[in-house]
Amino acid sequence: MKKRGILIVTLVSAISILLTGCHGRKGMEAFSMPEQFDESKTYNITFWAKNDTNKTQTEIYKKAISDFNAIYPNIHVDLRLYTDYGKIYNDVITNISTGTTPNVCITYPDHIATYMTGDKTVVELDEMMRDPRYGLGGSEVKFDAPTEEEIIPEFLAECKIGDGHYAVPYMRSTEACYVNKTLVEKLGYTLPDILTWDFVWEVSEKAMETDADGNYAVNGQKVMIPFIYKSTDNMMIQSLYQLNAPYSDDNGNIGIFNDSTRDILFTVAEHAKTGAFSTFKISSYPGNFLNAGQCIFAVDSTAGATWMGTDAPLSDIHESKKAHFETAVLPVPQYDTANISMISQGPSICIFNKDDNEEVLASWLFVQYMLSDDVQMAYSETEGYVPVTIKARNNPAYLDYLSREGEDNSLHYDVKIKAAKLLLDNSKNTFVTPVFNGSTSLRDASGQMIEEVTKATRRRIEVDDAFIDKMYDNMKSLYRLDVTRSAAGNATSTEQSELPTESKSLLIILAVVWIFIAGYVLYTYSRNKSC
């Protein structure tokens, strides 16, 4: 049973702690490669990992830790499990301020940009990656690790922030449109290989027709939401990217508040008004509606493929509510079918700096182990993930797994393997958005605008230019997007160009002390002179 994504956190407060907490702490030395790795010494490594509320994934983490410990008996890894990236993000920020970060952490590059506002908090990996002994596939590494060249270059590049790599990719996914092909054809359409936005809107509107009893004609039920999008931030980001419209740049300049965004929002409003479109936040998981025959186009992560389709091994709806239909797994809708694009997403792994360089090196060895074939293949097979190394992708065992699509409804569940193949076939068509301190807020705002427009329309509030103008202003203010930012976590917003209050106070105190000292010197000098 999935849980609605709310997060008991105090993000803003935590970020404030992070930004101000560093002032009082002694900065850590940057990591430098140790001469030796002392294997007679014991290292205790903490690993904060994210799973998709999936027991198999947690078992794979545990097995990886156990197998790694068998190779390096002196390195002990303590696992802490999360099911939400946001919770990890919040906990890391809180622990940066107290100097108690984990050693290794599953994360998103967007989040790392914020972690990097702490002084030398996150280890730049380039030196370790290329070390001939302990680097990727190095001579002293005791297991079959991938070389740098064997990591998919597009995915490794996603982990580069500024001039260096601050993470390595762990798993990758994208979004897919899971389609009830049976209902599309019942409506008189032929499903294309590549969906266009126009096609999806047209079929969705057609599906809103009702019969004399008030049931939707296409499914004979009282409920039909033809098009449901899980992550509306991705919906907006991919739409803008496909239109070659501004979102943000590498320097953190915000471009999202433009006319293309406005047009997208008007289109969303048009179809929300008829009930043809809704979102996860407003209605629920797209998969629940899809599997009940109440949705035709369900856009969700390929990492959620095991929840999608008639024979999905995981489901939150009662068996009696399930509809029987053919599921097609297609790329997200496109504006230009000759030039398709889709977002790249999925977990990466970063390492936090510690005073002991050898402890950091021990962390790095464990990170490399997470890139080894056994871990990569096992974890990717839990969902519609793909391995991030060429080595694992070419492994005969993985190729065998892919070839057995549909053999059963568990490990070889066809929708899951189709979802993985979708990304394998489109690695070159993926993109990511620029990472900077504040990119997480921009992502949140991009989705929130679709949510706001959809909600307003359902509530019979007119969505016109005035509405959009006001919403733009609200988004800029709420998500602090009306400031200039710089890349790689070194925020230089107009607000932050001014000295912090603590600094101002310190300067004032220093000035007062100097005035007293000067006064005292003058007083002593004049007394001595008068004597």
Site residues, other proteins (CB under 8 A): 1-4, 6-13, 51, 53-55, 57-58, 80-81, 83, 282-285, 288, 316-318, 441, 444, 455, 458-460, 478-480
User: Could you please report the per-residue DSSP string of 469-480?
Assistant: HHHHHHHHHHTT
Q: In the complex with other proteins, which residue's Cβ is closer, 33 or 282? A: 282
Residue 18, token pair as written in the block? 């992070």
Q: In the complex with other proteins, which residue's Cβ is closer, 52 or 175? A: 52
Min separation Cβ 436 and other proteins, Å: 17
- Measured CA to CA, the distance from residue 233 to residue 239 in angstroms comes to 10
**Residues β-bridged to residue 210:** 216
Task: Please give the DSSP secondary-structure letter assigned to residue 453.
Answer: H
Q: In the complex with other proteins, which residue's Cβ is closer, 150 or 300? A: 300
In three-state secondary structure terms, 511 is: helix
Min separation Cβ 79 and other proteins, Å: 9
Min separation Cβ 1 and other proteins, Å: 4
Listed in sequence order, the DSSP H helices in 298-438 are 357-370, 373-380, 390-393, 396-403, 414-425
Min separation Cβ 89 and other proteins, Å: 12
Q: In the complex with other proteins, which residue's Cβ is closer, 187 or 282? A: 282
Instruction: Give the strand order in the sheet containing 277-279.
Output: 277-279, 227-229, 297-301, 175-180, 327-331
- Measured CA to CA, the distance from residue 372 to residue 442 in angstroms comes to 34
Min separation Cβ 14 and other proteins, Å: 9
- The conformational region for residue 406 under phi > 0 = left, psi -120 to 50 = alpha, else beta, is left
Q: In the complex with other proteins, which residue's Cβ is closer, 42 or 477? A: 477
Q: In the complex with other proteins, which residue's Cβ is closer, 53 or 69? A: 53
Treating both helix axes as pointing N-terminal to C-terminal, what angle do 55-71 and 357-370 enclose, rounded to 10 degrees?
A: 130
Min separation Cβ 379 and other proteins, Å: 13
Q: Which residues contact 437 (CB under 8 A, 6 or more apart)?
A: 113, 114, 116, 117, 252, 485, 486, 488, 489, 490, 491
Q: In the complex with other proteins, which residue's Cβ is closer, 275 or 346? A: 275
Q: In the complex with other proteins, which residue's Cβ is closer, 10 or 526? A: 10
Min separation Cβ 489 and other proteins, Å: 19
Report residue 309: phi and psi, to 5°.
110, 160
Q: In the complex with other proteins, which residue's Cβ is closer, 37 or 285? A: 285
CB-CB contact of 88 with 96 (8 Å): no
Min separation Cβ 514 and other proteins, Å: 38
Q: In the complex with other proteins, which residue's Cβ is closer, 10 or 244? A: 10
Min separation Cβ 225 and other proteins, Å: 12
Min separation Cβ 57 and other proteins, Å: 7
Q: How distant, in Å, are the alpha carbons of 6, 173, 290, 307, 316 from that of 1? A: 15, 22, 16, 10, 6
Contacts for 469-474: CB closer than 8 Å, 24+ residues apart:
472/257
CB-CB contact of 419 with 346 (8 Å): no
Q: In the complex with other proteins, which residue's Cβ is closer, 13 or 505? A: 13
Q: Which residues contact 93 (CB under 8 A, 6 or more apart)?
A: 11, 14, 15, 17, 18, 114, 115
CB-CB contact of 323 with 310 (8 Å): yes
Min separation Cβ 183 and other proteins, Å: 21
Min separation Cβ 9 and other proteins, Å: 5
CB-CB contact of 325 with 180 (8 Å): yes
Q: In the complex with other proteins, which residue's Cβ is closer, 84 or 405? A: 84
**Residues β-bridged to residue 352:** 122
- Measured CA to CA, the distance from residue 180 to residue 184 in angstroms comes to 7
CB-CB contact of 333 with 199 (8 Å): yes
Residue 86, token pair as written in the block? 């946001």
Q: In the complex with other proteins, which residue's Cβ is closer, 80 or 470? A: 80
- Measured CA to CA, the distance from residue 105 to residue 507 in angstroms comes to 38
Q: In the complex with other proteins, which residue's Cβ is closer, 54 or 147? A: 54
Min separation Cβ 20 and other proteins, Å: 16
- Measured CA to CA, the distance from residue 234 to residue 228 in angstroms comes to 13
Min separation Cβ 209 and other proteins, Å: 21
Q: How distant, in Å, are the alpha carbons of 102, 419, 448, 461 from that of 222? A: 50, 30, 28, 24
